[in-house]
Amino acid sequence: MNNNDIQIPPSGVRGLKNDLFLKALKGETVQRPPVWMMRQAGRYLPEFRELRDKYDFFTRCETPELAAEITVQPIHRIAPDAAILFSDILVVPRAMGIHVELKDNLGPIIPNPIRSLADVHKVYVPDVNETLGYVFDAVKLTKEMLNDEVPLIGFAGSPWTIFCYAVEGKGSKSFDTAKGFCFSNPAAAHTLLQKITDTTILYLKEKVKSGVNAVQIFDSWGGMLSPVDYQEFSWKYINQIVDALADITPVIVFGKGCWFALGEMGKSRASALGVDWTCSARNARYLSGGNITLQGNFDPSRLLSPIPTIKKMVHQMIDEFGKDKYIVNLGHGILPNIPVDHAKAFIDAVKEYGN
């Protein structure tokens, strides 16, 4: 290992004013669990919608000042215990030569999806500093703006989830085309998955060098695969990323609908595992081996309940997971129609726990 492999973030972990999140990732005892929300920098916030009306999606991602400003919006408004960099999982395939558009109400569109080995050969592992430098600049700027108040999370999509969009060409309920490509042309599929994995490792390492305090891998579409196929087409690649990052930063793996893989994940070098709301706390603890930190799993639609109900359910959820080795979160991203005071009540309920 040379000196370049060990990177001390510009503002060291020890300097953080609120380190509850990092303590939970290390499995240390805490007064109360930390809380943040997936997609907390998003459309339920009026100040986000204002910027969205002025700048298109990838402009927001590619302009460090905008990305940093959007990242800190929820910190000021609802005060979670961690910030997550505003960006998107799709900046990675864009950097690999795959053209991605984001259409209002349609979600991501890839006009020329990958459907053959020849298509796979056109995709490359890029120089991440050249193609994704704007993300690293956004990390540095956000760290300055956060002023060590809370840690900053960096993220990437899992190779399988990126592959789903790259091959399907758009969002889908079942991703049959992406699955069909794996089953009919496994060699080409594995070549593409490996290129995405190699790029993601370079990308996340550079994010850590730029100052993020932890990383999360979003496997949003892992639950589309059977347990056996999940091992071959998703977990195998996520695990390479976990192994490549574990020495330099805590890694959280969130697989939506992937409760069946918690056993394998619990044996990996990940620091925490995300759980969605279809898996009970008890089952998640049992399946993951009982020792690893878990994160989740409030049903995002449950934030439409009256505030007293939200608070009661959050306290029950903490009782069920236990306050230690636990990070309070939703079971997937916050929905755009959630009232801000309900989002705030979710965060406040955690801070009031045990009072």
- Residues 6+ positions from 196 with CB-CB distance below 8 Å: 92, 93, 96, 159, 162, 163, 166, 237
Catalytic residue among 19, 44, 81, 165: 165
Adjacent-strand bridge partners of 272: 252, 293
Cβ pair 18, 81 in contact under 8 A: yes
Q: Does 243 bind ligand CP3 (CB under 6 A)?
A: no
* Interface with ligand CP3 (CB under 6 A), residue from 7, 23, 52, 172: 52
Q: Does 36 bind ligand CP3 (CB under 6 A)?
A: no
Q: How far is CA 266 from the centre of its chain?
A: 18
* Whole-number Å distance between alpha carbons of 56 and 59: 5
Q: What is the DSSP letter of 111?
A: S
* Interface with ligand CP3 (CB under 6 A), residue from 42, 113, 169, 250: 42
Residue located via tokens 């505003």: 86
Instruction: Report the residue number, 88 or 320, with the smaller CB distance to ligand CP3.
Output: 88
CB atoms within 10 A of CB 13: 15
Query: Would residue 43 show up in a list of annotated catalytic residues for this protein?
Result: yes
Element (H, E) at 346: helix 340-352
Comparing every residue's Cβ against ligand CP3, the nearest one is: 220
Catalytic residue among 5, 14, 32, 39: 39
Instruction: Report the residue number, 41 or 182, with the smaller CB distance to ligand CP3.
Output: 41
Query: Would residue 52 show up in a list of annotated catalytic residues for this protein?
Result: yes
Q: Does 333 bind ligand CP3 (CB under 6 A)?
A: yes
Count of residues that bind ligand CP3 according to CB under 6 A:
22
Kindly identify the residues of this chain, within the stretch 259-278, that bind ligand CP3 according to CB under 6 A: none
Q: Does 351 bind ligand CP3 (CB under 6 A)?
A: no
Tokens of 252: 């959280």
Q: What is the DSSP letter of 231?
A: I
Residues annotated as part of the active site: 39, 43, 52, 88, 165
Query: Where does this chain bind ligand CP3 (CB under 6 A)?
Result: 38-43, 52, 57, 84, 86, 88-90, 102, 107-108, 155, 157, 171, 218, 220, 333
